[in-house]
Amino acid sequence: MSEVSPVTSAAPGVRTVLVIGAGTMGHGIAQAAAVAGCRVRLHDVDSGRIAAGLAKVRESLDRLVAKGKLPAAERDAALARLEAARGLVAAARDCDLAIEAVPEVLELKQATFRALDAALPAGAILASNTSSLSIAKIAEAVSRPEAVVGMHFFNPVPLMPLVEIVRSGLTSDAPIAAVRALAERMGKTT
């Protein structure tokens, strides 16, 4: 009998999230996950983008505090849960979920998913923020297509209430339940 990860068990619970791509969507997703209580690692092939993404998260959270929409203590806790991830293998080591937010190029997304498939632990979920590409086509790049989902956020992520969850014909129910529960923790409607 094989051991099942807590994420893919009957009681889904995402605790650690790796976000790939620190641009507009990526840093917004990282912020939403950190505010929802997840440990978050933000990764990008360009380390300057990681630093810029983290700075934008701080600016966004500071604005929310200034407007009275987020207590300062919650901002500080979210920032403490957020970190730069420079090496993909190390960043993925104990993640429950990886969300890619790279440019809308199928080959790039497939290459990203191949790297994630090799680096993530068994039981981890692979999610794409794609708005237009086939989840089934993206899932062709991995050995665990049943763990691949679409988790399409709307921009700006911290403010927009919707998250579109997409499954392929091979996606199992547990990853869908886990990303839906995370989206709800983020205050999103799926």
Type of residue numbered 94: D
Sort 33 into a burial class: Cβ within 10 Å, 0-12 / 13-18 / 19+: buried
Catalytic residue, from 152, 178, 186, 188: name it. 152
Q: What are phi and psi of 44, to 5 degrees?
A: -155, 155
CA torsion, ordered 172, 37, 46, 163, to nearest 10 deg: 50
Query: Active site includes 27?
Result: no
DSSP strand E in 79-156: where?
82-85, 97-100, 125-128, 148-153
State whether the Cα torsion 61-41-27-145 is positive or negative: negative
Could you write out the DSSP letters of every residue in 145-187? Answer: GGGEEEEEE-SSTTT--BEEEEE-TT--HHHHHHHHHHHHHTT
Residue spans of alpha helices (H) in 21-71: 24-35, 47-66
Q: Which residues are catalytic?
A: 152
